[in-house]
Amino acid sequence: MNNLEYNKWLKEKIDELANTNIKCNGNYNEDLIREYLIFSSYVGIGEELLNFFKQNINDENLLKVLFKILLDESEEYSNDARYSAARMIPLFNSDILKKYKKELHHAQSYKINNLKPFPKDEPIWLSECKW
């Protein structure tokens, strides 16, 4: 597959994802969220998927799925979705994030910076109390 074919396939895949029902019976489909995370990282092309996360920064159920993906240390999946989950989690409302200090502390302990939701500066509220 050459570059042009790959970009066309990528665009079609992102369009397909954006038009797929990401919830079933009110619950997020974890596999689809993983794909959203992976494909949202494609600059320019993945903006629609990235915007999905930005538009849902108050959705605690989505945050729970992101933590589940980020903290999944099994080798069943690549780390791409985990890296993206780490980048999306800090976008969420801090009032919701504060409920998940235990999960955040665990993620902050990862040796790989890309798996840390706050790789440079932790928010003050996170260091005030462990949990």
Is 43 within a domain?
yes
Is 118 within a domain?
no
Using CA atoms, how far apart are residues 102 and 47, in angstroms rounded to an integer? Answer: 30
Is 53 within a domain?
yes
Phi, psi of 110 (to 5 degrees): -60, 140
H or E segment at 61?
A: helix 60-70
Is 115 within a domain?
no
Is 98 within a domain?
no
Is 126 within a domain?
no
Q: What is the pTM of this model?
A: 0.88
Domain residues for the domain of 82 are 3-93
Is 120 within a domain?
no
Question: What is the domain count for the chain?
Answer: 1
Query: To the nearest whole percent, how much of the chain has pLDDT over 90?
Result: 60
pLDDT band at residue 4 under the 50/70/90 scheme: confident
Is 20 within a domain?
yes
pLDDT band at residue 130 under the 50/70/90 scheme: low
CA dist list (Å): 74 to 42, 51, 56, 105, 122: 24, 28, 27, 19, 26
Segment 21-48, tens digit of pLDDT: 999 888 999 999 999 999 888 767 778 8
Assess whether pLDDT exceeds 70 at residue 109. yes
